[in-house]
Amino acid sequence: MSIFYLMPPRPYLGDRFADFLQTFFPGLDWDSSSRTNLADLMGDAALERHGVFVVYRDDLPRDEAASRALRDGFGAEPGDEVIEIRPSGRAGEVVTRRWRVDAPDA
């Protein structure tokens, strides 16, 4: 079984990483390109683990269910685990939901 991390869009995630990095690099500005690169860099690091896939919300079709989009576009199989991270509505906070990829409709 694989684990798919369904992440927020790269710009949102990059903003959160840039906010965090301000703690260690006060005064440095992270432009939008750098922020996107931060998101991709962290995702790439996670991919070094066997059976782990990172998918950003902005890579999914807007009008398709996440389970189907993960199956059709990213190779997820029924039973694979999805750890979905979304903004919570409060600034900078996220919520996490775990679920399994369902079987395709017959």
Q: What tokens does 22 get?
A: 């301000």
Q: Is the pLDDT of residue 106 over 60?
A: no
Spatial separation of the C-alpha atoms in residues 105 and 1, rounded to whole Å: 20
Tokens of 64: 């398709």
Per the prediction, the chain carries an average pLDDT of 91
Q: Taking residues 2-31, what's their average pLDDT?
A: 92
Confidence category of residue 75, pLDDT binned at 50, 70, 90: very high
Residue 73: band (very low, low, confident or very high) from pLDDT cuts 50, 70, 90: very high
Give pTM, 2 decimals.
Answer: 0.87
What tokens does 57 get? 């919300």
Residue positions counted in the chain = 106
Range among 11-20, 24-33, 54-63 with highest mean pLDDT value: 54-63
